[in-house]
Structure 1
Amino acid sequence: MTIGVLPPSPSSHHAQRQLSPPPIVMETTDATTSQTTESVKKINRYLLEKEIGHGTSGRVHLALHVDTHQHYAIKEFSKSCLRKREQIARMKRRRHSSSCCSNSNNRRSGTVVMPVRWAGPQKLQNTYTSCNNPFDLIRTEVAILKNLRHRNIITLYEVLDDPNNDSLYMVVMDMAQKGIIMHIDLHKTATPYTEKMARYYFRQVILGIEYLHFNGIVHKDIKPDNLLLSQEDVVKIVDFGVSEMFIQGGGDNITSTAGSPAFMPPELCNLVSPLGSVSGKAADIWSMGVTLYCLVHGHVPFASEGLLDLYEKIKQQPLIHLLEKLLEKDPTKRIRMRELRHHPWVTHDGKEPMIPEKENCASVLTSITEKDIHNAITKVRHIFTVVK
């Protein structure tokens, strides 16, 4: 089979498998926040015991349900910060619009405008290039998580909003006790995993991403920071804020460059490239390749002059071959998911075959519509209207 051909669209499989109704996710828009002690906050029946992570979009807490004594991970967003980010995004869009008009005038006057290119992915690892409204990103993440049920994807259980408080909460059912799979610092090398453990984790990533792609979703931000480990070493894919969904039978060309540039493919590292021609599935597979390199080497592969020098440090030939296929600069030649799951390194030369795609993707989601995203969180929709 030709490597450059993308897998058939999810619609070609839907006739063979039964559609699954979306799982029930509780939505509480009249939650109550209280302070039980100086350091412990309570939202409804959840005690926020401690902060276990944070990022640009919010903080993550370890929470205890006071009735069931079960632990959950709760993601907290600040509404006021979201409002400020929305205002900044609007200002950037206005400046960008003015710049485009200026460039257009320059072209008419004969002035040559040079194309803009990124200096390099290693300098922009934790920045995001999307100008999407922050509220839209949260609504998108909630809409997607409300519909997903897979062992290797984080599960959304409840959305909580206190109308009298600055915070909005997403209650995640899975508690990934071991945290992120690896912390990547561009200036330091993390302790790499053994080849055996890297394979064990990467196989789970394949299953999770395969399930997403089968159901018309591209993640767009696959990296070690977005892969959590449960107590049983089960990989949980998280953070769907910049993900994109596609209609059944449609293509997978993405519409924005949001994501972590150090894990972006070359076709997204050139702002001149037309986004309408970039495959989201191929972009995810490149990010999986960078992630695998991190697992076996402890840092991103672009901290050196060239990949060939780095490949010399990896002695296992099948792994080198796989990385070459994953990190193929031409997206039309990049390895496809169906070939990836059968690669000799992934299957340990056939000794550890992957579960069949049909079994992994047995649950076919109902389509997620624009209306689903708009109605993902009632209170956020109201806040967004007020901000506008």
Structure 2
Amino acid sequence: MSTTPSPPNSPEASSSTKRKSVRPPSIVVETLGATTSETKEGLRKINNYLLKKEIGRGAFGTVHLGIDENTNTEYAIKEFSKSRLRKKEQMDLFRSGGPRGRRLMGLGVGRAAAAAKSSNPLDLVRGEMAVLKKLNHPHIVRLFEVLDDPSGDSLYMVFEMMHKGVLMEIEVDQVAKPFSEDVARRYFKEMMLGIEYLHANDIVHRDIKPDNLLLSKEDVLKIVDFGVSEIFVKGNDRLKKSAGSPAFMAPELCVAKHGEVSGKATDIWSMGVTLYCMVFGKTPFVSTNLLELYEMIKDAPIDFGDKSGNLLDLLQRVLDRNPDTRITMKELRNHAWITNDDTETMISEEDNCDVVTEVTEEEMNNAIKSIASIFAVIKAVSKFKRHSRSLSQQSLNKMMAEVKLEEESKKSSTLI
């Protein structure tokens, strides 16, 4: 799908420089008893969503343009085959030799035994849901609802619609039209903000590529497809298993029995390959033979064409084959190509990642206080009704104060 990016200084382009407000976690509706039907025109419906047309296809199902008939809002509805997902679960369980190890959050990866035994089909996509429920960021796609029709083979995930489609179509046998440096810089910075936020929330994406970067109607880049993402333990992003698309995999993942590697560093390599695609219209390594492709990623020289200056320096640092010396996210923020020689600003790391992902103890206490005060009002009104209607507002206020004092005394006694 061809896109016409907005100029870097347009209102749409400024989303990466605006201060982000604190955001609550996403709310995802889980609908177990959904119903599939068909319209007179032969279109399928799942509950209130009309599936208008197919707009994408993957290994486990299809993506439809869906319309919520109640609001007329457009959504991207991802349809999965439950039987294919279960087979995937069983294969993953067989390959791993049993359910053990880290919390891999893919389409059931590391959850095979639990999902196979569970009677809830939503467990087949629970991993991706777990990641998306944890997140709420302007450069990460929103998941709104997950539906299961118990009488059919399909599961449905309802995402926000990204009208402009993929960032760039990358094919093995052809070269796409590259972006200008200014446009590539803006999209790369938006991707950076999304990945930085993921890493701050202890998540590595593991499949960053242009296909998984979509553009909204307002030309804002958003990261999608958390099917092989992993939630890691705070402060330890070490991974043992390889995942993702081969052409975008880091060299340290292209080695048999590679042991533990840094998940963050592998994401940054994939970001580098994606940047290479933006400015050259192709991946740096091309082969239809998988083993040959892995060897090229590990050893083949990288052709940087006529690129020079800050862009060349960034490409060389982000595509550093040594993960220990590869550029980090903090270093990326200060790189001269990212800042355009200090002429462009970007939202700070603190503001970008300062997001509430769970209810705080203070908010819980405030909620409890609010409920307690409601009960106090109800008691006061009840007490007021038992007295003469001629009581003044002042008397009512006095009663309210007495009820509150009574409640506080009870609370103190309970605590003691």
TM-score (norm 2): 0.70
C-alpha contact 2:170 2:210 (8 A) present in aligned 1: yes
3-state DSSP of counterpart to 2:337? coil
3-state DSSP of counterpart to 1:359? helix
Match for residue 185 of structure 1 among 171, 181, 186 = 171
Question: What runs of 5+ residues in structure 1 fail to find an aligned partner?
Answer: 1-17, 95-127, 368-388
Match for residue 237 of structure 2 among 252, 259, 276 = 252
Q: Distance in 1 between matches of 2:267 and 2:124?
A: 18
- 1:156 is displaced (CA, Å) by 0.8
Number of the residue aligned with 1:156: 143
**Alignment of 1:236 onto 2:219:** no
Out of 298-307 and 204-213, give the one that drifted further. Answer: 298-307
**AA matched with 1:361:** C
**Alignment of 1:194 onto 2:194:** no
**Alignment of 1:335 onto 2:342:** no
Q: Which runs of 4+ in 1 moved over 6 A?
A: 304-307
**Alignment of 1:299 onto 2:282:** yes
Q: Of the two, which has the highest radius of gyration?
A: 2
C-alpha contact 2:240 2:259 (8 A) present in aligned 1: no
- 1:292 is displaced (CA, Å) by 0.4
Question: What runs of 5+ residues in structure 2 fail to find an aligned partner?
Answer: 1-20, 98-106, 116-122, 288-295, 360-416
**AA matched with 1:336:** T
- 1:83 is displaced (CA, Å) by 2.5
**Alignment of 1:289 onto 2:265:** no
C-alpha contact 1:342 1:353 (8 A) present in aligned 2: no
1:44-193 → structure 2 map (5 Å cutoff): 44-90=47-93, 92=95, 133=112, 138-172=125-159, 174-193=160-179
- 1:141 is displaced (CA, Å) by 0.6
**Alignment of 1:23 onto 2:23:** no
- 1:37 is displaced (CA, Å) by 4.1
**AA matched with 2:271:** M
Match for residue 213 of structure 1 among 185, 195, 199 = 199
For residues 200-249 of structure 1, what are the alpha-carbon distances to aligned partners after superposition, in whole Å with 9 as ceiling and x for unaligned? Answer: 1111000000000011110010001100001111011001111111233x
- 1:150 is displaced (CA, Å) by 0.2
C-alpha contact 1:19 1:366 (8 A) present in aligned 2: no
Q: Distance in 1 between matches of 2:230 and 2:307?
A: 37
Match for residue 321 of structure 1 among 309, 313, 337 = 313
**AA matched with 1:363:** V
C-alpha contact 1:62 1:73 (8 A) present in aligned 2: yes
Match for residue 274 of structure 1 among 259, 262, 269 = 259
3-state DSSP of counterpart to 1:84? helix
3-state DSSP of counterpart to 1:349? coil
C-alpha contact 1:19 1:365 (8 A) present in aligned 2: no
3-state DSSP of counterpart to 2:271? helix
For residues 124-183 of structure 1, what are the alpha-carbon distances to aligned partners after superposition, in whole Å with 9 as ceiling and x for unaligned? Answer: xxxx9x7874967722111110121000000011111111111101111x2110111112
Number of the residue aligned with 2:37: 34
C-alpha contact 2:24 2:355 (8 A) present in aligned 1: no
C-alpha contact 2:284 2:302 (8 A) present in aligned 1: no
Out of 192-201 and 36-45, give the one that drifted further. Answer: 36-45
C-alpha contact 2:25 2:356 (8 A) present in aligned 1: no
Number of the residue aligned with 2:413: none
Q: Distance in 2 between matches of 1:272 and 1:246?
A: 20
Number of the residue aligned with 1:10: none
Q: Distance in 1 between matches of 2:96 and 2:239?
A: 19
- 1:40 is displaced (CA, Å) by 1.4
- 1:195 is displaced (CA, Å) by 1.2
- 1:39 is displaced (CA, Å) by 4.3
**AA matched with 1:210:** E
Out of 35-44 and 74-83, give the one that drifted further. Answer: 35-44
Number of the residue aligned with 1:262: 247
1:357-372 → structure 2 map (5 Å cutoff): 357-366=349-358
- Tell me the percent identity: 54
For residues 270-311 of structure 1, what are the alpha-carbon distances to aligned partners after superposition, in whole Å with 9 as ceiling and x for unaligned? Answer: 012113xx0000000000000000011011111398876621
Match for residue 310 of structure 1 among 303, 306, 315 = 303
Report the CA distance shift for 1:244/1:309 in structure 2 as closer, same or farther (over 3 A). closer
Q: Distance in 2 between matches of 1:197 and 1:132?
A: 40
Q: Distance in 2 between matches of 1:332 and 1:157?
A: 38
3-state DSSP of counterpart to 2:193? helix
Aligned length: 312
Q: Distance in 2 between matches of 1:68 and 1:228?
A: 24
Out of 298-307 and 258-267, give the one that drifted further. Answer: 298-307
- 1:85 is displaced (CA, Å) by 2.9
Q: Distance in 1 between matches of 2:87 and 2:157?
A: 20
Report the CA distance shift for 1:39/1:317 in structure 2 as closer, same or farther (over 3 A). farther
